[in-house]
């Protein structure tokens, strides 16, 4: 077999899903014993995917790029490793990131392949951590010429930040919320104590609704049963300003979503792909991505209703 005879292209999740699932199941679930519920996190439809294929074999490797700039799910079939397949996939994903105008990308690298990513300029940060039973490290890469091509002509570009902890996420939420002149859309698992009830965020919310008679803040909670009413001051503010602030419960049929975000005026956003981790992005002017998630939020909002748990709190 000629192991140099392969090509890499961007995949279409709608048509390539079956092949990519089979490949990732072989590498992650069967070979590396990753739990299926961790592997299939619900984010694939919003990601850009690269796939390597070989004649008479089909898919031999894959990887994905999330809109937040996170590269992941890099997988190559065992018999094709060592022939440049993974490098070709990574180069294609980096090209796609540049085309999307991302200023930087990041990933969680398994410790045994840190050197592979380092050859592309990725820099390791922080200590090792366990993810799906495998030790990883956070790695980042700044992209040359990043930050262009994401906004429409005539629109100013904003500042994009990579977030790696709860305090950074909470600060970013307040920073982006402060930019709102009309509306905030918040998608959260449980109002995230320490984020949406911070003193700074609550002052921003009160200033927005008291200075703008048309202001609207919508909060969609995926698991209201986890909300801590005794310590979450956002609930108290919501009761006082219920004309402007509304809380709803995510429909049960959509409980498999694992992300969280805030969108301000359909122009700026804070986003993290996994609610059990604090890594994510914040961008002070990213209308395309902000409107994408605002559109998803609007669809879910139309399907949602006030949660029984929140009714019991008087909301």
Q: Is the pLDDT higher at 107 or at 228?
A: 107
**Tokens 């002017």 correspond to what residue?**
285
Count of domains in the chain?
2
Mean pLDDT of the 238-264 span:
88
Same domain, 47 and 128: yes
Whether 224 maps to a domain, the answer reads yes
Whether 253 maps to a domain, the answer reads yes
CATH of the domain at 180: 3.30.870.10
**3-state DSSP assignment of residue 230:** coil
**Tokens 């956003």 correspond to what residue?**
269
φ and ψ of 12, to 5 deg: -110, 115
Smallest CA-to-CA distance from 194 within 220, 233, 164 is with 233
**Is the distance from CB of 308 to CB of 247 less than 8 angstroms?**
no
Same domain, 305 and 171: yes
Whether 304 maps to a domain, the answer reads yes
Whether 185 maps to a domain, the answer reads yes
Same domain, 306 and 171: yes
Same domain, 46 and 182: no
Same domain, 134 and 167: no
Q: Is the pLDDT higher at 18 or at 154?
A: 18
Mean pLDDT of the 105-113 span:
92
Mean pLDDT of the 193-212 span:
92
Chain segment 27-46, per-residue pLDDT in tens? 999 999 998 988 988 888 88
Look up the domain containing 116 and give its range: 7-142
Confidence at residue 77, expressed as pLDDT on a 0 to 100 scale: 96
Q: Look up the pTM and report it.
A: 0.60
Confidence at residue 74, expressed as pLDDT on a 0 to 100 scale: 95
Both structure tokens of 130: 């366990």
Whether 154 maps to a domain, the answer reads no
Please give the Cα distance from 117 to 140 (Å, whole number).
9
Whether 290 maps to a domain, the answer reads yes
Q: Which of 99, 116, 142 is the last residue of a domain?
A: 142
**Tokens 């993290």 correspond to what residue?**
272
Same domain, 28 and 123: yes
Among 23-32, 223-232, 252-261, which stretch is predicted with the lowest mean pLDDT? Answer: 223-232
Q: What percent of the chain has pLDDT over 70?
A: 92
Q: How confident is the model at residue 230 (pLDDT cuts 50, 70, 90)?
A: low
Q: How far is CA 130 from the centre of its chain?
A: 19
What lies within 8 Å, CB to CB, of 30 at 6+ separation is none
Q: Which of 142, 176, 200 is the last residue of a domain?
A: 142
**Is the distance from CB of 129 to CB of 135 less than 8 angstroms?**
yes
Same domain, 185 and 239: yes
Give the CB-side neighbour count of residue 14, counting CA atoms within 13 A: 0
Whether 155 maps to a domain, the answer reads no
């Amino acid at each position: 077999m000629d192991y140099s005879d392969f090509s890499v292209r961007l995949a279409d999740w709608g048509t390539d899903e079956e092949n990519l699932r089979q490949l990732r199941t072989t590498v992650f679930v069967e070979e590396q014993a990753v739990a299926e519920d961790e592997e299939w996190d619900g984010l694939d439809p919003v990601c850009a995917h690269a796939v390597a294929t070989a004649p008479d074999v089909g898919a031999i490797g894959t990887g994905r790029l999330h809109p937040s700039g996170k590269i992941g799910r890099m997988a190559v079939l065992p018999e094709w490793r060592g022939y440049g397949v993974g490098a070709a996939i990574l180069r294609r994903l980096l090209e796609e990131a540049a085309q999307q105008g991302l200023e930087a990308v990041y990933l969680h690298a398994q410790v045994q392949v840190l050197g592979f990513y380092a050859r592309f300029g990725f820099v390791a940060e922080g200590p090792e951590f366990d993810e799906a039973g495998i030790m990883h490290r956070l790695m980042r890469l700044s992209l040359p010429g990043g930050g262009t091509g994401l906004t429409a002509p005539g629109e100013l570009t904003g500042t994009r930040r990579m977030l790696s902890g709860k305090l950074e996420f909470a600060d970013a939420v307040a920073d982006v919320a402060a930019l709102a002149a009309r509306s905030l859309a918040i998608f959260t698992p449980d109002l995230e104590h320490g984020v949406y009830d911070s003193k700074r965020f609550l002052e921003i919310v009160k200033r927005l609704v008291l200075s703008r008679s048309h202001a609207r803040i919508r909060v969609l909670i995926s698991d209201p049963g986890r909300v801590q009413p005794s310590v979450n001051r956002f609930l108290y503010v919501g009761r006082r300003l219920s004309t402007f602030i509304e809380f709803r419960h995510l429909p049960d049929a959509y409980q498999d979503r694992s992300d969280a975000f805030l969108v301000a005026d359909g122009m700026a956003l804070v986003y993290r792909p996994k609610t059990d981790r604090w890594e994510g992005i914040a961008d002070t002017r990213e209308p395309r991505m902000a409107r994408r998630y605002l559109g998803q939020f609007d669809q879910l909002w139309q399907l949602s209703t006030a949660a029984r748990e929140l009714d019991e709190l008087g909301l």
